[in-house]
């Protein structure tokens, strides 16, 4: 039996290798009683040039080297924002065949955003952070906060909706709770990654104002409030430089202006040039060749842009060692915060607590879009025969979609959840349509079965196939695929008690909306998807989710399409929609979407009253409170998300009618009332002034709008800014 080596003895061995002369001395970089910056500087000065460069690029598909001589460990990353990816082979995307790496699948981030609840975001971050820590990953490649500019973007399901304020509030608790586990979040994709079409080449031209007001705020919140320890660059270009080494985004804004002290990590294959990577803010290069072995099995990673070419340039004096040291400091800082933090917890994996968390988040995020005649909830004791139709009722949604694809310990499907809640004997299932063959079943058979049922539940929408909700390509049309519209029309004609459940991360066209009484947005809800959906439909849980994006009636209601700048041409896209994204555009055009931003119904009703400000005016540096009384007028407990929007009546530049600047989720018993108070300051009033290149608040009259959605305003109050 080998003798056990104590931790102190191990430190002494490392100290000797590091060049410490005293047997009793511990190098400062190994002493976790020392401040991190002291440890970083001590480690840096002990490293050779070759060791520094080695830390700046990958050594495998998902890892980069540490400094073995100094006992500094490797960096291990994992996809993705919804669950911890299975282990893969060293140089490949394919799974390594482990038997203990099946994870918990949490709902997609559109569902999290639909909770409008920072407590749900914190629960999500805590749970997924524990799973990453248990698997000994020190960088979680997520969350994503790119703005929902077009519903055709194949990757929207990974992001947090169309509004920068909502995304900013929701991303912060996620980051904080993940990092309490000693795991760095890697917030992505910085920035302007708003389409998958030509994503590796497309150059985005956007006004400084739109960049600052729409596309950067969530990233800024992630850095300044969340304190994220890493950021991932985007594939696309901005200002004709790839975002993974973009001087304006990374050097000027992220590192200098925002004071980001963490690591900038490239997206896999997002690095294109040694000089730009060296000088324009990239710190750690991953995945430059898709299989890691393009050159040869022996030297692939040595030929990355920040590997041998960088080392040779440093030795020749082409590149600055000062810039190299800044990269290494940032990587070391991340390592000391994660793997070399001996106080970090051990984590937890596929536990009952995580299954409960996944189900709770899903229940809070599912949105009741329409409920004419109060068809829902479908109480199990009042129905004997339910016809369930749709491939998505029985289709796994944790597989596919790109880097979010997961190997999960289980996925409770919608059909399983319904069978469990209502009883298998009450459920009849028909597929209705087939995505693989793009065919529908015999319509007469569907109609006959629907006529016999007490109620029909159609479960369709999108899936993780290419050109749907999937990385690498955008949707080809706004409508439902596979002939689903025809199936829905057939079902509702045969049985008016029809519920349509859309499983997706994106909005879809609904030409049948006026004929279907009940519509539910069911999202991709992960491990507990079926049980969560069944609990909403049966009425065990009162729905409280609200849309984090606008559900357009047609694409011409979306600024990116109405103004003719999607998907661009010749690898160039101009954001002519500027700041007019989502509800900002529909309100400017006075067009009525299918369902507005912030919309979501409940099985109870809420009354708003007494909207008021605590004073009539405020200074530009001051604060002001807006309050409203909310009462549950129904006969069951429910939660309402109260939303505050601010509009500027007198502006020197065009501004939206109103913009989201506050929200609060309040749970009320039947008959209970509560006063909700929002505090606003200059950040709720400002716009980006392109003449001064700074934020500006203009004096004048502003209006506070309080309501249940962007289109359901229950009260307003004006106030003066002096």
For 432-465, b/e burial (b = at least 16 CB within 10 A) is bbebeeeebbebeebeebbeebebbbbbbbbbbe
Q: Is residue 311 in a domain?
A: yes
- 465 and 509 in a single domain? The answer is yes
Contact present, 195 and 220 (Cβ < 8 Å): no
Predicted confidence band of residue 294 (pLDDT cuts 50, 70, 90): low
Q: Which of 154, 174, 64 is nearest to 113 (CA)?
A: 174
The 3-state DSSP class for residue 408 equals strand
| Cβ proximity of 533 and 522 under 8 Å | yes
- The answer to whether residue 382 sits within a structural domain is yes
Give the pLDDT confidence score for residue 366 in this predicted structure. Answer: 99
Q: What is the pLDDT of residues 470-508, one digit of tens each?
A: 999 999 999 999 999 999 999 999 999 999 999 999 999
Whether residue 529 is found in the same domain as residue 666: no
The answer for residues whose C-beta is within 8 angstroms of residue 444's C-beta and 6 or more apart is none
Per-residue pLDDT tens digits for 501-547: 999 999 999 999 999 999 999 999 999 999 999 999 999 999 999 99
pLDDT of residue 561: 98
Please tell me whether residues 316 and 444 are part of one structural domain: no
Whether 385 contacts 426, CB under 8 Å: yes
What domain count does the chain have? Answer: 3
Asked which of 543, 574, 591 is the last residue of a domain, the reply is: 543
Closest CA to 234 of 222, 246, 225: 246
Domain with 656 in it: 606-721
Report, as an integer, the average pLDDT of 314-338: 98
pLDDT at 3 over 80: no
The strands making up 659-668's β-sheet, listed across from edge to edge, are: 617-618, 713-721, 700-707, 638-648, 659-668
What value does the mean pLDDT of the chain take? 95
Asked if the structure places residue 281 within a domain, the reply is: yes
Could you give phi then psi for residue 309, rounded to 5 degrees?
Answer: -60, -35
**Catalytic annotation, residues:** 267
DSSP string, 328-364: HHHHHHHHHHTTT-TTS-----S-HHHHHHHHHHHHH
Q: What pLDDT was estimated at residue 81?
A: 83
> 301: closest CA among 284, 288, 318, 316?
288
Residue 6 has pLDDT above 60, yes or no: no
- The alpha carbon of residue 560 and the mean position of all alpha carbons in its chain are separated, in whole angstroms, by 21
Domain-located, residue 186: yes
Query: What pLDDT band is residue 620 in, cutting at 50, 70 and 90?
Result: confident
Average pLDDT over residues 109-113: 98
Higher pLDDT residue, 14 or 456? 456
Statement to judge: residues 404 and 321 lie in one domain: no
- pLDDT tier at 92 (50, 70, 90 boundaries)? confident
Domain's final residue, options 508, 527, 543? 543
Residues 72, 208 within the same domain: yes
64: which strand partners? 75
Where among 494, 521, 543 does a domain terminate? Answer: 543
Q: Please tell me whether residues 418 and 311 are part of one structural domain.
A: no
- Are residues 221 and 106 part of one domain? yes
- Asked, for residue 416, whether it belongs to a domain, the answer is yes
Q: Helix/strand/coil (H, E, C) string of 162-212?
A: CCHHHHHHHHHHHHHHHHCCCCEEEEEEECCCCCCCCCCCCEEECCHHHHH
Are residues 263 and 194 part of one domain?
yes
Q: Are residues 325 and 424 in the same domain?
A: no
Residue 24: predicted pLDDT = 57
With CA atoms as reference, report the closest residue to 390 among 595, 530, 540, 515: 530
pLDDT recorded at residue 663: 98
**385 and 521 belong to one structural domain:** yes
Average pLDDT over residues 631-657: 97
Determine the average pLDDT of the residues in 222-230. Answer: 98
Binned at pLDDT 50, 70 and 90, residue 51 comes out as: very high
Banded model confidence at residue 296, pLDDT cuts 50, 70, 90: low
* pLDDT above 70 as % of the chain: 95
Classified as helix, coil or strand, 461 is strand
CATH number of the structural domain spanning residue 152: 3.20.20.300
User: Within this chain, do residues 623 and 688 fall inside the same structural domain, yes or no?
Assistant: yes
569 by Cβ neighbours in 10 Å (0-12 / 13-18 / 19+) ranks as exposed
Q: Summarize pLDDT for 584-594 with one digit per residue, the tens.
A: 999 999 999 99
Q: How many H helices and E strands in the chain? A: 18, 28
Say if residues 450 and 380 touch (Cβ distance below 8 Å): no
pLDDT for position 89? 92
DSSP 55-123: TTB-SSSSEE--BGGGTBPPEEEE--SSSPPPPB-TT-SSB---SS--BPPPPPHHHHHHT--HHHHHH
Cα torsion for 201, 202, 207, 208, to the nearest 10°?
A: -30
| 293 and 382 share one domain | no
Within-domain flag for 594: no
Output the domain CATH number for residue 613: 2.60.40.10
pLDDT at site 678? 98
> Which CATH number covers residue 425?
3.40.50.1700
What does the pLDDT read at residue 299?
77
Q: Is residue 243 part of a domain?
A: yes
| H or E stretch covering 502 | strand 498-503
Domain for residue 184, yes or no? yes
Longest dimension (CA), the chain: 87
pLDDT score for 289: 77
Task: Assess contact for 104 and 355: CB atoms under 8 A.
Answer: yes
Averaged pLDDT, 249-266: 98
Query: Does 80 sit behind a cis peptide bond, omega within 30 degrees of 0 on the bond before it?
Result: yes
Query: Global pTM?
Result: 0.96
Q: Poorest-confidence range of 18-22, 87-91, 550-554? A: 18-22
pLDDT band at 20 (very low <50, low <70, confident <90, very high): low
pLDDT at 136 over 60: yes
Phi, psi of 78 (to 5 degrees): -145, 135
- Band (pLDDT 50/70/90 cuts) for residue 10 is low
Residues above pLDDT 90, as percent of the chain = 93
């Amino acid at each position: 039996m080998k003798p056990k080596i104590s931790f102190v003895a191990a430190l002494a061995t490392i100290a000797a290798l590091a060049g410490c002369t005293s047997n009793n001395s511990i190098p400062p970089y190994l002493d976790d009683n020392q401040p991190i910056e002291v440890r970083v500087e001590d480690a840096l000065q002990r490293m050779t040039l070759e060791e520094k460069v080695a830390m700046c690029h990958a050594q495998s598909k998902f890892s980069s080297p540490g400094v073995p001589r100094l006992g500094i460990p490797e960096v291990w990353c994992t996809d993705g924002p919804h669950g911890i990816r299975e282990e893969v082979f060293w140089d490949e995307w394919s799974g390594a065949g482990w038997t203990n790496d099946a994870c918990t699948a949490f709902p997609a981030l559109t569902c999290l955003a639909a909770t409008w609840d920072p407590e749900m975001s914190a629960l999500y971050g805590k749970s997924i952070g524990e799973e990453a820590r248990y698997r000994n990953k020190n960088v979680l490649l997520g969350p994503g906060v790119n703005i929902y500019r077009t519903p055709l973007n194949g990757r929207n399901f990974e992001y947090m909706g169309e509004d920068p304020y909502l995304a900013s509030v929701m991303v912060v608790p996620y980051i904080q709770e993940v990092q309490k586990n000693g795991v760095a979040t890697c917030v992505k994709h910085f920035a302007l990654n708003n389409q998958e079409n030509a994503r590796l080449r497309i150059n985005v031209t956007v006004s400084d104002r739109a960049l600052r007001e729409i596309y950067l705020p969530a990233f800024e919140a992630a850095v300044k409030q969340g304190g994220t320890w890493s950021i991932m660059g985007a594939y696309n270009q901005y200002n004709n430089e790839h975002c993974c080494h973009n001087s304006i985004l990374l050097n000027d804004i992220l590192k200098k202006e925002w004071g980001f002290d963490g690591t900038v990590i490239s997206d896999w294959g997002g690095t294109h040039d040694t000089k730009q990577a060296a000088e324009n803010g990239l710190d750690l290069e991953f995945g430059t060749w898709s299989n890691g072995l393009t050159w040869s099995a022996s030297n692939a990673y040595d030929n990355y842009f920040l590997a041998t070419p960088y080392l040779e340039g440093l030795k020749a004096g082409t590149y600055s060692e000062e810039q190299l040291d800044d990269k290494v400091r940032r990587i070391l800082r991340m390592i000391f915060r994660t793997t070399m933090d001996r106080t970090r917890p051990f984590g937890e994996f596929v536990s009952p607590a995580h299954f409960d968390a996944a189900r709770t988040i899903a229940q809070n995020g599912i949105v009741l879009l329409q409920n004419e005649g109060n068809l829902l909830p479908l109480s199990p004791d009042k129905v004997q025969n339910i016809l369930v139709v749709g491939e998505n009722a029985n289709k796994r949604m944790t597989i596919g979609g790109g880097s979010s694809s997961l190997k999960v310990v289980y996925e409770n499907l919608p059909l399983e959840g319904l069978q469990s809640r209502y009883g298998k004997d009450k459920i009849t299932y028909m597929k209705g349509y087939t995505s693989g063959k793009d065919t529908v079943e015999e319509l007469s058979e569907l109609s006959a079965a629907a006529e016999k049922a007490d109620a029909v539940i159609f479960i369709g929408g999108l899936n993780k196939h290419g050109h749907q909700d999937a990385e690498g390509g955008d949707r080809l049309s706004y409508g439902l695929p596979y002939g689903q519209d025809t199936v829905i029309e057939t079902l509702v004609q045969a049985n008016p008690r029809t519920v349509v459940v859309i499983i997706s991360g994106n909005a879809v066209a609904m030409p049948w909306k006026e004929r279907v009484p009940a519509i539910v947005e069911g999202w991709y809800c992960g491990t507990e998807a079926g049980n969560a959906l069944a609990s909403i439909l049966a009425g065990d849980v009162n729905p409280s989710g609200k849309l984090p994006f606008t559900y357009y009636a047609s694409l011409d209601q979306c600024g990116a399409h109405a103004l003719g700048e999607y998907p661009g041409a010749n690898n160039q896209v101009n954001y002519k929609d500027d700041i007019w994204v989502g509800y900002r555009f529909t309100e400017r055009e006075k067009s009525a979407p299918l369902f507005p931003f912030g919309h979501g119904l409940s099985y109870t009703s809420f009354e708003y009253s007494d909207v008021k400000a605590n004073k009539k005016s405020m200074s530009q540096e001051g604060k002001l409170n807006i309050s409203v009384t909310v009462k549950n007028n129904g006969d069951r407990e429910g939660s309402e998300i109260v939303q505050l929007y601010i509009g500027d009546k007198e502006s020197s530049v065009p501004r939206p009618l109103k913009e989201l600047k506050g929200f609060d989720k309040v749970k009320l018993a039947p008959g209970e009332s509560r006063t909700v108070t929002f505090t606003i300051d200059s950040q709720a009033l400002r716009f980006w002034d392109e003449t001064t290149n700074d934020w500006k608040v203009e004096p004048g009259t502003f209006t506070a709008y309080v309501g249940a959605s962007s289109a359901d305003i229950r009260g307003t109050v004006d106030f003066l800014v002096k």
